[in-house]
C-alpha cells in the first residue's frame, strides 16, 4: 500500500485492484516478501497490478479472515440493521483483534485514497467493495447460500467503510493514518464557461469534485489549427485552379 501511494500515477492505474497482474510476478513478489520481510523492497518499475495482486492474495490466504470468523455474524448484523446502523458498525469494528485492526485500519484509509482518483482508475467505493468484501468478510462455513444472501450487506458495509474511514475508524495513537482527501492533486482553474455548454456531472464519490470542466486549448494550439485550415484551403484552391486550367486548354484545342 505504501508503494502504491508513493507515486500518484500508480493510484490512477485503470482497474486498480480489479485487474489481475501476472501470476508469476505475483508469486515471485510473495516469495521474496516471505523470505525476508524486513529487507524486502518492491522495485519502482514493478507492474502495479502485480503488486495489488500480492495484497489480494495475502488477504485471501489468511487462515482466519481479516474479519475473523467469530465476528462475521456481528458485522453482518450491524450492516443489516435498520436503526443505529452506523453506530453498530463502529462498535463491530472496535471488537477486532489488535493485529487485525491495524491492517484493517490501514487498508480502508488506503482504499479511501484510491477512490479520490476514481475518475482515472474507474474504481469507486462500490467497485472496490465488490473486489474486497468477499475476501474480508467470509462466513465460517463457506455456505454458498449464506455468501449470496449476505453479499448485499457485506458489499454495502465495505463500501461505507471505504467512503468514511474517519467516522468508522477513529484515529488513535495506534493507527495514525491521515485521511487522504488532503493529498489530492490540486484542481485546475476552470476557464470561462461557454454559453449553452453545460458542465459534465461526475458520479458522486467521497471527497471528489462534483463537476469537471475541460481545459480550453492554448493560444498556440489555436494558431496551429488555424494554420492547418489555411494550408488545407490553399491546397484545395490550387487543385481547383489546375483543374480549371486543364479544362480551358482542352476547350482551346477543340
The secondary structure of 11-66 as a DSSP string is HT-TTTTTS---HHHHHHHHHHHHH-TTT----TTS-HHHHHHHHHHHHHT-SS-S
Question: What integer best gives the mean pLDDT of the chain?
Answer: 77
159 closest CA partner among 102, 100, 202, 118: 118
What mean pLDDT is predicted for residues 160-181?
75
Question: Is the pTM higher than 0.75?
Answer: no
The answer to whether 117 and 8 are in contact (CB under 8 A) is yes
What is the predicted pLDDT for the residue at 171? 77
As a residue count, the chain comes to 254
**Of all residues in the chain, what percent are helix, strand and coil, respectively (each to 5)?**
60, 0, 40
Residue 85 to residue 76: CA distance in whole angstroms:
11
pLDDT of residue 225: 44
DSSP run (H or E) holding 211: strand 211-212
Amino acid at each position: 500500500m505504501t508503494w502504491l501511494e508513493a507515486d500518484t500515477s500508480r493510484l490512477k492505474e485503470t482497474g486498480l485492484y480489479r485487474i489481475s497482474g501476472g501470476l508469476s510476478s505475483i508469486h515471485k513478489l510473495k516469495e521474496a516478501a516471505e523470505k525476508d520481510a524486513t529487507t524486502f523492497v518492491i522495485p519502482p518499475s514493478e507492474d502495479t497490478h502485480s503488486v495489488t495482486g500480492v495484497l489480494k492474495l495475502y488477504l485471501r490466504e489468511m487462515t482466519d479472515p481479516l474479519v475473523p470468523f467469530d465476528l462475521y455474524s456481528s458485522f453482518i448484523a450491524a450492516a443489516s440493521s435498520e436503526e443505529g446502523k452506523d453506530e453498530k458498525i463502529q462498535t463491530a469494528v472496535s471488537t477486532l483483534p489488535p493485529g487485525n485492526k491495524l491492517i484493517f485500519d490501514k487498508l480502508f484509509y488506503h482504499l479511501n485514497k484510491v477512490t479520490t482518483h476514481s475518475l482515472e482508475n474507474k474504481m469507486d467505493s462500490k467497485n472496490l467493495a465488490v473486489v474486497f468484501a468477499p475476501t474480508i468478510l467470509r462466513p465460517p462455513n463457506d455456505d454458498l447460500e449464506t455468501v449470496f444472501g449476505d453479499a448485499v450487506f457485506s458489499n454495502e458495509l465495505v463500501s461505507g467503510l471505504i467512503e468514511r474511514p474517519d467516522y468508522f475508524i477513529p484515529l488513535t495513537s495506534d493507527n495514525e493514518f491521515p485521511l487522504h482527501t488532503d493529498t489530492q492533486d490540486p484542481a485546475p482553474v476552470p476557464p470561462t464557461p461557454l454559453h449553452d455548454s453545460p458542465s459534465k456531472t461526475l458520479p458522486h464519490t467521497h471527497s471528489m469534485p462534483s463537476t469537471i470542466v475541460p481545459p480550453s486549448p492554448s493560444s498556440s494550439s489555436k494558431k496551429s489549427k488555424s494554420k492547418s485550415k489555411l494550408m488545407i484551403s490553399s491546397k484545395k484552391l490550387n487543385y481547383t485552379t489546375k483543374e480549371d486550367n486543364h479544362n480551358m486548354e482542352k476547350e482551346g484545342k477543340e
